[in-house]
């Protein structure tokens, strides 16, 4: 079973930055997987924030985070990071990382992803 560990959340003031990390469990790599970051605010549906293909390196960003967030994968394909800059209170949510086998998904949408890490809380104060 694929196990993911998300970390890096916290409390930050508006305009600040955080870096989230999604680490694959020992013995697993993201090779041939798509990886995504999703977030869910209270009372809202889980939304795709950013996704990356480990094979092509292709990325997707939600319109609300374009130009502020950057997703990346390390050379060993063991960790996927989400650099979040210029945060605003609307970014407050629980952030989750997830993964799915390449070719088994069509978009950066939660229902397409099979394996999920635990969430990490991001709170942005105004």
Q: Which residue bears the tokens 């997987």?
A: 33
**Structure token digits, residue 12:** 């930050």
Res 36: pLDDT: 98
Res 25: pLDDT: 87
Res 88: pLDDT: 98
Rounded Cα–Cα distance for residues 14 and 48 (Å): 21
| Mean pLDDT rounded to a whole number for the chain | 96
115 near 24, Cβ under 8 Å?
Answer: no
**Structure token digits, residue 34:** 């798509």
Res 105: pLDDT: 85
For the chain, list residues with pLDDT below 70: none
High-pLDDT (> 90) share of the chain, % = 93
Q: How many CA atoms lie within 13 A of 87 on its CB side?
A: 23
Q: Are strands 120-125 and 10-13 parallel, antiparallel or unpaired?
A: parallel
Res 106: pLDDT: 86
Question: Residue 91's Cα: distance from chain center in Å?
Answer: 13
Res 104: pLDDT: 83
């Amino acid at each position: 079973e694929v196990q993911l560990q998300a970390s890096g959340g916290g409390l930050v003031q508006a305009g600040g930055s955080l870096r989230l990390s999604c680490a694959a469990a020992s013995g697993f790599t993201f090779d041939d997987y798509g990886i995504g970051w999703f977030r869910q605010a209270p009372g809202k549906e889980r939304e795709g924030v950013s996704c990356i293909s480990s094979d092509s390196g292709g990325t997707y960003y939600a319109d609300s985070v374009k130009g502020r967030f950057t997703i990346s994968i390390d050379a060993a394909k063991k960790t996927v990071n989400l650099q979040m800059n210029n945060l605003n209170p609307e970014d407050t949510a629980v952030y989750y990382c997830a993964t799915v086998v390449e070719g088994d998904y069509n978009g950066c949408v939660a229902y397409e992803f099979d394996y999920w890490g635990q969430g990490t809380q991001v709170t942005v104060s105004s």
